[in-house]
Structure formats: structure tokens, C-alpha cells
Amino acid sequence: MPSRILIVVATALLGACGGTASREPGTFHTLPPGSILPGDSECAAQVLRSSWEPRSDNAAANQVLATASQLQIFHGDSWGGVDGRANSVLRQRVTGAFSGTTDEIIQGGACKWGFDVNVIRAQAATESWWHQDTTGDLTADTTLWPPGATCQDATDCYQSYGLLQIKWVYWQSAWPISRDSTAFNVDAALGWRRTCYEGYIQWLSTPGTPGHPSYGSGDLWGCIGQWFSGAWYDPGAITYISNVQNNLQNQVWLGRYF
């Protein structure tokens, strides 16, 4: 087995162990609500570095950092219908201040926001197969097109962009850096994940499908489904959760054809 795969296998196995935070480089687990989260510099030091890069097409986007003016615009905006701490604390932590390989950026995001690194690897595979130039949510509704949108033709353009597929209509102040920077895309999406996981989304209601828990803090899979559907355990979210869990179980990012 090539050495670069050995490195990633080791990281994948360590990241899947769960439990409390570890100081072992590359091992990042889900931290409970209310945890003190590490910052950019601490996480940069904890990332397991390697030359493994399955997505050479991400090379440019992996080095792009948000400018001061872009961050000012993003930080000056706010998420609606959330606990005040989501905007005053969590949103302000989003910087995208990291560069490296695609997997190193995923590790950095997992560390910074306190989530299991393998879950993020699996979700990124579900959303984009780890390609930052992935586009999604094609629409003919021109009000949903971001400025400079990628279009299929003159009447249909894409709404969502990047490794974790940030949809412009809900993230207008993050455009275009959410498209141009892999690190910012991951950082911003996981900032929202932590907002959900802390129980800060005030408008989320009880699930649309019986047999699932109502919204509350500490439900990682519910928050993953909410990212896709916008709702809490509705049919679309449940299907999406299953797809991510399948990619996690199979660790598809280690597969021969990934």
C-alpha cells in the first residue's frame, strides 16, 4: 500500500474512534455543545500534513484566502432567527484562514469546529466528491443566481458552490469567496453546523417524519440533514443523512476510484 494511503488510513481510523478531543495530529472528534473550541493557529498545528491530494483541480482554490474586505462584509452580516451567540461568537470565528491540501483543509475545519473529521470527509464526498468547483441546485429563477453564476445555458444557472455546497441565496455576504476558497467554504459551512449543534437555530421545528427527535442541541446527524433540506428530519434530510452515513461507513475517500 502506498505510503500516502497509509497516512490517510491511519488518520481515518483515529478520527473514527470518537470520544474526547485528542492531541494526536489529525485526530479530531465531535466535541459536545458548550465546548471551548480551538482557533485557527492551534488547529493548523494539529493537522496531519501529507502530500496526499486526490483533487489536483483544487490546487488554486486551496490556496485562496479571504481578503480583509470580504471578511468585513461577511462578519457585518448576520444569520436570522438564531441565538445571539451564533452571530456574536460563532459567525465571527469564520475566517477561512488555512491553506493546504484538500484533506488538510477538511482536517482544519474538523478541528476548529469540533467535529469528527471522518464525518466531514464523508459529507464532502456526498456534496462534491471533494471538488471545490462543484456546482449544484440548477434553477431558472434569476433571483436565485449569484453575480457571475456558472450557468448551464442562457436560462439555467447554479445556486450552490464548493466542497460543501454553500447556496448563494442564504449566504450572499459570503460570495464569491465561498466559491473561490476551499478553506472558507469549509469554515463557513461548519460554523453553521456548530450553530445548529449548539441548539441555536430558533426557527427549527419538530421533525416532519414521526419517530425522530425534535430539534435540540447535540444532534449531529440532525444538523447534517438540516444542511441539505433546511428542515429537521424531513424526508429529504433523512435520505441525505443515509447517503452521508453510507459514505462514512465505506470511507469512500480511501477507495481506489475516488
Neighbours of 249 (CB within 10 A): 11
Cell 433546511 belongs to 230
Q: What pLDDT was estimated at residue 206?
A: 81
Neighbours of 87 (CB within 10 A): 17
The answer to whether the beta carbons of residues 144 and 169 sit under 8 Å apart is yes
Task: Identify the bridge partners of residue 136 per DSSP, sorted by sequence position.
Answer: 160
d(Cα 240, Cα 123) in Å, to the nearest integer? 9
Among 70, 183, 192, 71, which residue's Cα sits nearest to residue 132?
A: 183
Rg (CA), the chain: 17
Half-sphere exposure of 5 toward its Cβ, with a 13 Å CA cutoff? 9
Neighbours of 137 (CB within 10 A): 14
Identify the helix (H) or strand (E) that includes residue 138. Answer: strand 135-139
Q: Write down how long the chain is.
A: 258
Q: What pLDDT was estimated at residue 72?
A: 98
Helix, strand, coil abundance in the chain, percent, nearest 5: 50, 5, 45
Q: What pLDDT was estimated at residue 208?
A: 81
Question: Which residues of the chain carry a pLDDT beneath 50?
Answer: 1-23
Q: What pLDDT was estimated at residue 68?
A: 98
Among 31, 146, 89, which residue's Cα sits nearest to residue 136?
A: 146
Helix axes 220-229, 117-128, angle to 10 degrees: 20
Q: What are 11's three cell numbers? A: 488518520
The answer to whether the beta carbons of residues 192 and 115 sit under 8 Å apart is no
The answer to whether the beta carbons of residues 18 and 118 sit under 8 Å apart is no
